[in-house]
């Protein structure tokens, strides 16, 4: 059965480089025992939803991404991290990855369109891929915007919209996924809408479906935006606050796969 005939399912997930969350005295023994298993656990949990596309923010190393692509049975494109200070907690920075059951025809890291490249922007990741489903080509974008500086984030949005403009204006199918580090009431949100993108969660609870954190979700900063023909085929969207994606409040030794919850959208 082809992905198109059963519908297309896509998942956006900040995976915290597959290290598990939180790290507490109560769960540390269990977390240590799971070291070396978390990539497999992540892949197995995602496969329960039969996704056709999965994008990672705060992704794993390029070598790990190749391993996980094999686990998922997918092609992938890995987007190197931008210029951000490394730390013991984030030794590889913040790369991104897109995995898909379909063909990746092209991939580009940190496209800037008509703007000059600026190392102060996209210090996490920003990438583009062209995905061929056999029925259509999807202009797929993955982004992790600046978490603290709203002015930098606004400039990142400007670059992204400039890069996407041709496809948005031509009526192509477009997906933008990732940890955009702004809430639905932020100034960035109406800019996406004004450009013609549809927030896939908006018809299904939108702001009420929090994605952060995986212990007590209080806010939404993770998105799947769609435009063009694919947006008109949206059939469902939700936050996956379930299974191994969240902790068990009754078990202090439990841990989640990440500090974020994934967003999932399905299209006809």
Q: Which tens digit of pLDDT belongs to each residue from 179-203?
A: 999 999 999 999 999 999 999 999 9
Residues 6 or more apart in contact with residue 110 via CB below 8 angstroms:
79, 82, 117, 122, 125, 126, 127
What are the structure tokens assigned to 77, written together?
A: 């494109």
* pLDDT surpasses 50 at 248: yes
How would residue 89 be classed by pLDDT, with cut points 50, 70 and 90? Answer: confident
Compute the average pLDDT of residues 83-92: 81
Q: Report the distance separating Cα 181 and Cα 178, nearest Å.
A: 9
Chain CA centroid to CA 207, Å: 17
Q: How confident is the model at residue 4 (pLDDT cuts 50, 70, 90)?
A: very low
DSSP 18: G
pTM of the predicted model as reported, rounded to 2 decimal places: 0.96
pLDDT of residue 141: 98
Residues present in the chain in total? 268
Helix (H, G, I), strand (E, B) or coil at 191: helix
Per residue in 189-220, is it b (16+ CB within 10 Å) or e — as a string? bebbeebbbbbbbbeeeeeebbbbbbeebeeb
Query: Where does the pLDDT of residue 87 fall: very low under 50, low under 70, confident under 90, or very high at 90 and above?
Result: confident
**48: confidence class by pLDDT, cuts 50, 70, 90:** very high
pLDDT (average), residues 220-247: 98
d(CA 202, CA 205): 6
Instruction: Tell me the mean pLDDT in the region 120-130.
Output: 97
Helix/strand/coil for 111: coil
| pLDDT at residue 88, rounded to an integer | 81
Q: Rounded CA gap, 16 and 78, in Å? A: 15
Cα separation, 159 vs 176, in Å, equals: 13
Q: How many whole angstroms separate alpha carbon 268 and alpha carbon 259?
A: 30
Tell the residue number behind the tokens 């930098």, with chain if given. 152
Q: What is the pLDDT of residues 139-164, one digit of tens each?
A: 999 999 999 999 999 999 999 999 99
Tokens of 127: 């990438």
Instruction: Identify the pLDDT of residue 211.
Output: 98
Q: Stretch 4-29: mean pLDDT, rounded? A: 92
Cα–Cα separations (whole angstroms), residue 130 to 28, 139, 148: 41, 5, 30
Domains of the chain: 3-267 (3.60.10.10)
Q: Cβ(162)–Cβ(134) under 8 Å?
A: no
Is the pLDDT assigned to residue 128 strictly greater than 90? yes
């Amino acid at each position: 059965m082809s992905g198109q005939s059963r519908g297309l399912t896509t998942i956006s997930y900040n995976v915290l480089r597959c290290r598990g969350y939180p790290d507490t005295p109560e769960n540390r023994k269990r977390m240590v025992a799971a070291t070396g298993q978390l990539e497999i656990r992540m892949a197995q949990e995602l496969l329960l939803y039969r996704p056709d596309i999965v994008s990672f923010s705060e992704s794993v190393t390029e070598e790990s991404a190749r391993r996980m692509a094999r686990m998922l049975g997918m092609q992938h494109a890995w987007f190197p991290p931008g210029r951000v200070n490394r730390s013991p907690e984030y030794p590889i920075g913040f790369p991104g990855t897109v995995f898909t059951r379909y063909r990746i025809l092209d991939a580009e890291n940190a496209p800037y369109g008509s703007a000059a490249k600026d190392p102060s922007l996209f210090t996490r990741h920003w990438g583009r891929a062209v995905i061929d489903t056999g029925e259509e080509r999807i202009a797929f974008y993955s982004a992790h915007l600046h978490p603290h500086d709203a002015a930098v984030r606004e400039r990142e949005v400007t670059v992204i919209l400039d890069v996407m403009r041709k496809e948005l204006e031509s009526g192509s199918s477009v997906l933008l996924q990732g940890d955009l580090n702004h809430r639905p009431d932020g100034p960035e949100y109406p800019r996406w809408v004004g450009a013609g993108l549809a927030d896939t969660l908006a018809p299904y609870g939108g702001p009420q479906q929090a994605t952060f954190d995986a212990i007590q979700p209080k806010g939404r900063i993770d998105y799947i935006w769609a435009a063009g023909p694919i947006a008109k085929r949206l059939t469902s969207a939700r936050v996956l606050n379930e299974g191994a994606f969240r902790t068990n409040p009754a078990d202090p030794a439990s841990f989640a796969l990440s500090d974020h919850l994934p967003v999932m959208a399905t299209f006809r």
